Structure 1
Amino acid sequence: MADINDTGAKRFAHLFSPVRIDSLELANRAVVAPMTRTSAGQDGVATDQMASYYARYARGGFGLIITEGTFTDTRYSQGYFQQPGIATEAQAAAWQPVVDAVHAEGGVIVAQLMHAGAQSQYNAYADENAAPIARAPYGRTATIYHGNNEPYNTPKAMSETDIIEMIDGFVASAKNAMQVGFDGIELHAANGYLLDEFITDYFNTRDDDYGGALGNRLRVIREVITAVRDAVGTDFCVGIRLSQIKVTDTDHRWASAEDAATIFSTVAAAGVSYIHVTGAGATEPAFSDNGPSLAELASEHGGVAVITNSALHDVQAAEAQLAEGGAHLVAIGRGALVNADWPARMANGQDQTEFDKDMLQPLATLDNQAGWEAGRTDIFEPLPKSGG
């Protein structure tokens, strides 16, 4: 891990102070946000290129690294072509070099576990998607992640057996993550993927105990958290990511601050180690012009560590969030993508490399490494070139 300049650390005292989240001892409050990279093998196996990619964040000084969304079973969970999985023995084993590379650089890494639900645009294991109800998401599949800009398919409505098997997939994947040395897991319940679909009023109109009122819509998440916590024990970090917006619906908002309070208190009571909020309202007033942000509501009603993610690559904004905004850690996405040494740069008073949209391209499809080269510093080695 990069040395953090003492002067910079004092200047941004909140950002560069250590923090503990259950079993995690973090050197600072800077987190690499989970970002879709679709750079695994076609069988969902993590690659050497991914090990290099994640290790550079540890080398650059980030206190915590959260992986891209990783699918959890060999039925309906996969969302993207070349998305990594952690469902099979081979997929789990392939993460070992990634974890080892991060640990060798002094880093801490958490695996984000994801079931794509109705937003799946590629699944090698099934010919259909599965969701709370048979309703297609808004929008079209994303070409940047190998989609064809076509409307999403209408998914099958999940049976209770499907739900039980989905929960079992999260449990098995969490155990796989722990076995290969991850420092924790994060449940992806944001951005319109399956767990978020169960929360969403218009996407969960089921007439059983899993649908209808908010308390019922939260049942699946409660059961996933409880089952995972029982499987991994009390000392392993289990986080959750939540958002109002979705990949396919950036206008969606929860009904009220009261509903947000219910969501945050429910997941905390079920046993999460931290709550990670992102998207609309994460750092700004969420439900009124002068009301609290999601981070503040999560801190008030969750009583656990809060990570917030929303354009916080401006170090002054990041420091302000930690000092005043209810968050205990800040997650950096695009800013980290182009400045893998963002913490070291901020502490040393260096400028950030300007964001290049080409950096959003999946690693495995980047024939031209100019974007990566532009974001390099002397502490990084170039990623291996890909034949695409």
Structure 2
Amino acid sequence: MAADGHPLQPDSASVAPLFAPLALGGLALRNRTAVAPMTRVSASADGHATARMADYYRAFAAGGFGLVVSEGIYTDQAHAQGYLFQPGLADHSQREAWRPVVEGVHRHGARMIAQLMHAGALSQGNRFRAGTRGPSAVRPKGRQLAFYRGDGEYPLPQAMTEDEIADAVRGFADAAARAREAGFDGVEIHGANGYLLDQFLAEGVNLRDDRYGGDVRGRLRLTVEVAQAVRAAVGADFVVGVRVSQGKVNDFGHKWSGGEDAAAVIFGTLGRLPVDYLHVTEFEAWQPAFGEGPSLAALAKRHAPVPVLANGSLHDPAQAAGMLARGEADAVTLGRGALTHADWPQRVRTAAAIAPFDRELLSPIADLANADRRQTRRDGGN
């Protein structure tokens, strides 16, 4: 890192791993740079993708990214929606609204994956149902996210019945089928960051004594069932991935009990599912997962026989390329780096300047209207 806070540009040979092609299942990617899923709360009130969203996603493809993963998309009209103005894939009209978004990404040579999300107990804005659902009646830690229009404590959820669990699984599968119909190249099951599937995995949050609780294998059962249902819904030739994390949006420092032993079980179980990749996210992807030893991405590579996408503060090209060169990941995904520069891959290729992240992009609301206003000011407009 330079003294002015800008990442130092490595030479072309050292960043070459970022630009090698990659296959995820049957999907060919032009390089190993991807846009991470980022909540932007910029859909219409009824969950339709908009023209502004199409421009936003198309810019990443035009900027050279090989893959674009969408923001979290809610899957049903019950308890999946997490945020007001979040996009959905819960009905046919929402499916149709995504078509021009995906087509714009494809026109610029990138591929696009829909991230499917059920917020569970972390829902703070749902137009369909009052109240929230989770694995157990445990109030989530922390407070609702103000930059996604939340306020105050999270409500106390009701524990899901087995019928509600079955409905949630069906919602993931139906949304995945709609994603394929809309033209997406694959789907990513959101099992990270404290949302529903991660809630079932988490000790202290999942207190169930049925087949969805207990040891780590029981707590993973819902993710397993969702992956199997999604695969059945989309067929063998459509990409399916799973996103995994330790930290959560409401419990940033969370670590898995059991350390590397738990990671071996979790990644070993997920790696045997009918999925094409795992997407592993940490605050700093290259750091040891448990204080010392391998990173979480490296542990995923060790225990899962599928490609691993690494996410977490990889906007520095040297850090991103280093993850690939060391064999800790097969591709890298960028959040803040992509928001700063939609053409990050092109800038890395040409050794152009890379600016530090502007946190005001996410304040007061982390939506595209705020980003547009800031861009106008930077360009000298009113």
Distance of aligned partners of 1:325 and 1:27 in 2 relative to their CA distance in 1, 3 Å threshold: same
Q: TM-score, normalised by structure 1?
A: 0.92
Give 3-state SS (helix, strand or coil) of 1:230's partner: helix
Q: 2:374 aligns with which of 370, 377, 387?
A: 370
CA distance in 1, matches of 2:166, 2:141: 27
Give the structure 2 partner of residue 190 of structure 1.
192
CA contact (8 A) 1:136 1:154 kept: yes
Could you tell me which residue of structure 2 aligns to residue 73 of structure 1?
Answer: 76
Alpha-carbon distance, 1:123 to partner: 0.4
- SS of match in other structure, 1:62: coil
Residue 158 (1) aligns with residue 160 (2): yes
Q: Distance in 1 between matches of 2:372 and 2:117?
A: 29
Check conservation: 2:284, 2:314, Cα contact below 8 A.
no
Segments of structure 2 that go 5 or more residues without pairing to the other structure are: 1-9
The equivalent of 1:19 in structure 2 is: 22
User: One-letter code of the match for 2:288?
Assistant: P
2:24–2:307 Cα contact (<8 Å) kept: yes
C-alpha contact (below 8 Å) 2:35/2:338 kept by paired residues: yes
How many residue pairs get aligned? The number is 370
Bigger mean CA offset, 126-135 vs 318-327: 318-327
Residues 19, 26 of structure 1: 8 Å contact kept: yes
1:284 and 2:287 correspond: yes
- 1:362, CA displacement in angstroms? 3.2
Contact 1:190 1:241 in 2 (8 A): yes
2:155 is equivalent to residue 117 of structure 1: no
Displacement after TM superposition at 1:135 (Å): 1.0
* Native 8 Å contact 2:194 2:248 kept in 1: yes
Distance, in Å, in 2 between the alignment partners of 1:372 and 1:84 is 25
Q: Distance in 2 between matches of 1:241 and 1:168?
A: 19
Q: Given the superposition, is the C-alpha separation of residues 61 and 229 from structure 1 closer, same or farther in structure 2, using an over 3 Å criterion?
A: same
- CA distance in 2 between partners of 1:252 and 1:372 (Å): 38
Partner residue in 2 for 1:379: none
**Counterpart for residue 3 of structure 1:** none
Equivalent residues of 2:282, 2:296 under 8 A apart: no
CA RMSD of aligned residues (A): 1.9
Q: CA deviation at 1:81?
A: 0.5
Which amino acid in 1 is paired with 2:336? R
Evaluate the alpha carbon distance shift between residue 368 and residue 164 of structure 1 in structure 2; reply closer, same or farther with a 3 A threshold. Answer: closer
- Structure 2 counterpart of 1:175, from 170, 174, 177: 177
How much has 1:78 moved relative to structure 2?
0.2
Confirm or deny: 8 A CA contact 2:284 2:313 kept in the other structure. no
Residue 219 of structure 1: aligned partner:
221
Q: Which residue of 1 aligns with 2:308?
A: 306
Partner of 1:56: 59
In the alignment, the residues of structure 1 paired with residue 72 and residue 371 of structure 2 have an alpha-carbon distance, to the nearest angstrom, of 23
Give the drift of 1:71: 0.2
One-letter identity of the residue aligned with 2:351: G
* Distance across 2 between alignment mates of 1:185 and 1:259: 26
Paired residue secondary structure (1:13): helix
- Seen in structure 2, the aligned counterparts of structure 1 residues 12 and 359 have a Cα distance that, compared at 3 Å, is same
CA deviation profile, 1:333-366 (whole Å, cap 9, x unmatched):
1011010000000110000133211222433542
What's the counterpart of residue 97 of structure 1?
A: 100
What is the TM-score normalised by the length of structure 2?
0.93
Change (3 A) 1:113 1:373: farther
Alignment check: 8 A CA contact 2:14 2:321 kept: no
Percent of aligned pairs with the same amino acid: 46
Residue 271 (structure 1) aligned with residue 277 (structure 2):
no
